[in-house]
Amino acid sequence: MGVNMKVIRSAQAGQGGPVRIACLNLSHHDLGAPFDKLTAALQKCYDEYFLPIWGYEVSLYNTTGPQPSDWRFVYLDNADTARALGYHDITKDGQPVSKVFVETTLKANEVVSVTACHELFEMVIDPVANLWAQAGDGTEYAYEMCDPVEEDTFVVDGLKMSNFVHPAWFEPFKHPPKTKFDHLGCLRSRSV
């Protein structure tokens, strides 16, 4: 029970106020941009586009030694899970963590900044990776902000970022015709 309580407190800490996210570059590969520029672009993208829709403040910073209370955002070389370009989870100490696999992303002909943006958005909304939504037919699906539109990107400070869905996409009822389901307006309805 001690570990579960630690996990719950750690994740819930961000739901009531700003969260600091320690960014660590442990990869030996090119991120597609200098580390400082990538982190600044992710913060700008988050603040200007994601925060107004989803409403949880975060502060990203680069470091080699994160504070114990801070969430983690780590760039690594290779995936530790088959076919994963990145994912979000919790550490053994109960802290939310996102992992971006740089070499794996590049070998898949994908862009590191898109994978990073995708994992950042999803970690913030579902820090312990345990939320599910239910469609009108009873089907359950993961509460993932970027998966439904992960092929669509937009540019922030010269770097590609991931499109993301709005809260309406997860609601199982009919919406007015002009409802916006994702940032770029690609989705006309929720199709789950």
Q: Could you tell me the sign of the dihedral formed by the alpha carbons of 76, 36, 57, 119, in that order?
A: negative
pLDDT at res. 190: 64
Q: Which residue has the tokens 């089907």?
A: 139
Report yes or no: 123 and 23 within 8 Å, Cβ to Cβ: no
Please report whether residue 135 resides in a domain.
Answer: no
Nearest to 179 by CA among 70, 170, 171, 188: 188
DSSP 177: T
Please state, in angstroms and rounded to a whole number, the distance separating the CA atoms of residues 120 and 61. 13
Q: Is pLDDT at 160 greater than 80 in this prediction? A: yes
Please report whether residue 148 resides in a domain.
Answer: no
What pTM does this model have?
0.88
pLDDT at res. 182: 94
Q: At what angle do helices 35-45 and 112-125 cross, to 10 degrees?
A: 50
> Which range marks the domain in which residue 63 is found?
2-129
Please report whether residue 164 resides in a domain.
Answer: no
Please report whether residue 143 resides in a domain.
Answer: no
pLDDT cut 90: percent of the chain above it: 64
Tell me the per-residue pLDDT of 96-112, one tens digit each, with 9 for 90 and over: 999 999 999 999 999 99
Please report whether residue 42 resides in a domain.
Answer: yes
Q: Could you tell me the sign of the dihedral formed by the alpha carbons of 32, 35, 37, 38, in that order?
A: positive
> What is the average pLDDT score of the chain?
88
Q: Which residues face 159 on adjacent strands?
A: 156
Structural domain count, the chain: 1
pLDDT at res. 192: 47
Q: Phi and psi (nearest 5°) for 10? A: -60, -45
Please report whether residue 72 resides in a domain.
Answer: yes
Please report whether residue 140 resides in a domain.
Answer: no
DSSP 48: I
| 87: three-class secondary structure by DSSP | strand
pLDDT at res. 137: 82
Q: Give a three-class secondary structure readout of 116-139.
A: HHHHHHHHHHCCCCCCEEECCCCC
Tell me the per-residue pLDDT of 12-62, one tens digit each, with 9 for 90 and over: 444 556 799 999 999 999 999 999 999 999 999 999 999 999 988 999 999
CATH code for the domain in which residue 62 is found? 3.40.390
| 187: three-class secondary structure by DSSP | coil
Q: Phi and psi (nearest 5°) for 165? A: -85, 160
Average pLDDT over residues 146-169: 95
Please report whether residue 59 resides in a domain.
Answer: yes
> Which stretch of DSSP H or E encloses residue 52?
helix 51-54
